[in-house]
Amino acid sequence: MIYLDSCAIVKLITPEPESAAFVHWLNDRPGETIVTSTLAEVEVPRALRRSAPGVLGVVTSVLSGFVRFEIDGPVRATAAAYLDKHLRTLDAIHLATAENLVGSGKSLTAFVTYDKRLAAAVSAAGLPVAAPGA
């Protein structure tokens, strides 16, 4: 299972410097299930509305290719309990979603993020982090 945060998903929708390497990296892992939080349903269009409003029409199609997990009670509780005062709220939700999946017995190959603060928090939580092309 590969977890994508919203900044990683944006790189799949609009060309950024790391996009080609990221797509290649994903293509090298054809059997992996790609997952994210339902938070991406809000965060990705909001990010693209600022930077690339012309591609908003493909967001739903791209997200439909991922398994999305709800921001349920355990995820909210985990996100609220993080001690790292530099971990932003939305990043805490992504990290808590991944941690709860692993806690339920799912195997995580990588948590893909291009955000350095979130990557540090993911690593500190003991989860494998990747930023292909960075």
Annotated binding site: 5, 91
Which residue positions form the known binding site for Mg(2+)? 5, 91
CA-CA-CA-CA dihedral for 61, 65, 18, 48, to nearest 10: 30
Exposure b/e, 56-94, CB count within 10 A at least 16 = b: eeebeeebeebeebeeeeebeebbeebeeeebeebbbbb
Pairing state of beta strands 110-112 and 67-69? unpaired
CA distances in angstroms from 80 to 6, 16, 88, 104, listed in the order given: 19, 32, 11, 19
